[in-house]
């Protein structure tokens, strides 16, 4: 089995295991696939400015970025997507692209660019989790990165101003949330009854928006109207991230040896066959037994009784006596 794995990520708050979207995606996937990782938050260390978060350390190798980390975990046989068909795998890629293009810019804006949210929620949180003197640097670095990313991807040349793209990115994000809600419908997860990597990605993007107490957010109020997405986030938090009950086991797949698997299947088949045969044969056996017993009783009664006028019908076999009653 794999060496011990350590995950470096931002710490948790607001009822979430981590407030950082990418870290949350990886944490959710480790729970869904049953991978044992030790979580080491980078809060209050110098890694808040030096490390790329999230980062998975396994032996000598270090993997970054959620998509690469998920690939690495799949190769280590922690695969939550085992039961997906090829078409569902293609749908997963498409929906992840939808989240990246439509939802991420608005989330970056809500947390890092919107002045009220940044001043009241984001900046205090990240500043309080960074050591002195990084608490002055870390939030502003991240805010600048977020702003430049929004402008470069969504800004329209030659007027790179944030006010012109705000309307567009929020309407795109609301549409994206609506599309996710249509796709989820009334199901518990996006594909079948067990969560997959798409569920991890959606949880990572939507949960911070759901749980953070933001002073001004039209996007959060829009999310609150989509009941099935709220229920989706809450059920994952309750099932996989609550400390008082153990997590549901992931569907067991190729962890069993292939030969052992075939043998157990064969044994199961045979035992099923024996059960079926017994079930069918039991009434026949019972009937045969009662008939035989009845015959034995009549033969033994006839042997004992010498009076031919003994007309009292033998209660053991009334049928036979009835047949032999002469017509007087």
Partner 1 sequence: MSLAADAFVSQLAAAEPWPENATLYQPLKEDQILLSDCASSLAVQAYLRMCGLPVEVVCRVNAEYMSPSGKIPFIHVGNQVVSELGPIVQFTKAKGHSLSDGLDDVQRAEMKAYMELVNNMLLTAELYVQWCDDATAAEISRPRYSSPYSWPLSNILAYQKQWEVRRKMNAIGWGGKTLEQVYEDVSQCCQALSQRLGTQPYFFNKQPTELDALVFGHLFTILTTRLTSSELAERIKSYSNLLSFCRRIEQSYFEDKKGVIVPLIKRSRRGHSSTNQEV
Residue 157 sits in the site that holds partner 1 (CB under 8 A): yes
Residue nearer to partner 1 on the CB measure, 184 or 207: 184
Using CB atoms within 10 A of its CB, is residue 19 exposed (0-12), middle (13-18) or buried (19+)?
buried
Q: How far is the CB of 201 from partner 1 (least distance, A)?
A: 12
Cα–Cα distance, 211 to 229 (Å, whole number): 12
Residue nearer to partner 1 on the CB measure, 9 or 16: 9
Residue 91 sits in the site that holds partner 1 (CB under 8 A): yes
Give residues 64-83 in contact with partner 1 (rule: CB under 8 A): 65
Residues 215, 239, 6, 92: is their CA dihedral positive or negative?
negative
Q: How far is the CB of 113 from partner 1 (least distance, A)?
A: 14
Total length of the chain: 328
Q: How far is the CB of 93 from partner 1 (least distance, A)?
A: 5
Residue nearer to partner 1 on the CB measure, 36 or 164: 164
Please report how many Cα atoms fall inside a 13 Å half-sphere around the Cα of residue 260, on the Cβ side: 5
User: Other C-beta atoms within 10 Å of 257: how many?
Assistant: 9
State which of residues 183, 211, 222, 321 lies at the interface with partner 1 (CB under 8 A): 183
Residue nearer to partner 1 on the CB measure, 71 or 299: 71
- What are the DSSP calls for 220-238, one per residue? HHHHHT-HHHHHHHHHHHH
Using CB atoms within 10 A of its CB, is residue 327 exposed (0-12), middle (13-18) or buried (19+)?
exposed
State which of residues 149, 211, 222, 321 lies at the interface with partner 1 (CB under 8 A): 149
Residue nearer to partner 1 on the CB measure, 43 or 65: 65
Q: How far is the CB of 238 from partner 1 (least distance, A)?
A: 26
Q: Locate all alpha helices (DSSP H) within 157-213, ordered by sequence.
A: 162-184, 197-211
Find out whether 28 and 204 touch, Cβ atoms under 8 Å: yes
Residue nearer to partner 1 on the CB measure, 101 or 116: 101
Residue nearer to partner 1 on the CB measure, 40 or 181: 181
Q: What's the distance, CA 9 to chain centroid?
A: 21
Residue 227 sits in the site that holds partner 1 (CB under 8 A): no
Cα–Cα distance, 166 to 155 (Å, whole number): 9
Residue 158 sits in the site that holds partner 1 (CB under 8 A): yes
State which of residues 185, 283, 308, 326 lies at the interface with partner 1 (CB under 8 A): 185
Give residues 11-70 in contact with partner 1 (rule: CB under 8 A): 65
Q: Using CB under 8 A, count the residues that bind partner 1.
A: 31
Cα–Cα distance, 210 to 228 (Å, whole number): 12
By CB under 8 A, name the binding residues for partner 1. Answer: 65, 86-87, 89-91, 93-95, 97-98, 100-102, 148-149, 152-153, 156-158, 164, 167-168, 171, 175, 179-180, 182-183, 185
């Amino acid at each position: 089995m794999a060496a011990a794995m350590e995950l470096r990520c931002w710490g948790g708050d607001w009822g979430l295991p981590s407030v950082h979207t990418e870290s949350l995606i990886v944490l959710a996937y480790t729970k869904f696939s049953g991978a044992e990782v030790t979580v080491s938050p980078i809060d209050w260390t110098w890694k808040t400015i030096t490390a790329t978060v999230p980062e998975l350390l396994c032996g000598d190798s270090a993997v970054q970025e959620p998509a690469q980390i998920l690939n690495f975990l799949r190769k280590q046989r922690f695969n939550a997507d085992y039961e997906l068909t090829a078409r569902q795998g293609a749908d997963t890629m498409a929906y992840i692209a939808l989240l990246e293009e439509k939802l991420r810019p608005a989330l970056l804006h809500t947390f890092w660019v919107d002045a009220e949210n940044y001043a009241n929620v984001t900046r205090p949180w990240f500043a309080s989790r960074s050591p002195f003197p990084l608490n002055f640097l870390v939030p502003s670095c991240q805010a600048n990165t977020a702003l430049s990313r929004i402008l470069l991807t969504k800004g329209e040349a030659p007027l790179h101003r944030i006010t012109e793209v705000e309307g567009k990115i929020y309407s795109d994000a609301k549409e994206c949330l609506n599309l996710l809600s249509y796709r989820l419908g009334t199901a518990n997860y996006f594909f079948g009854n067990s969560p997959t990597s798409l569920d991890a990605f959606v949880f990572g993007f939507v949960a911070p928006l759901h749980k953070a107490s933001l002073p001004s957010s039209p996007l959060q109020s829009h999310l609150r109207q989509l009941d099935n997405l709220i229920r989706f986030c809450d059920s994952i938090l309750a099932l996989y991230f609550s400390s008082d009950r153990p997590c549901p086991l992931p569907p067991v797949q190729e962890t069993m040896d292939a030969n052992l698997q075939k043998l157990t299947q064969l044994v199961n088949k045979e035992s099923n066959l024996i059960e079926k045969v017994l079930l069918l044969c039991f009434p026949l056996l019972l009937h045969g037994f009662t008939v035989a017993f009845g015959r034995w009783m009549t033969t033994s009664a006839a042997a004992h009784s010498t009076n031919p006028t003994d007309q009292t019908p033998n209660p053991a076999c009334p049928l036979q006596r009835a047949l032999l009653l002469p017509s007087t």
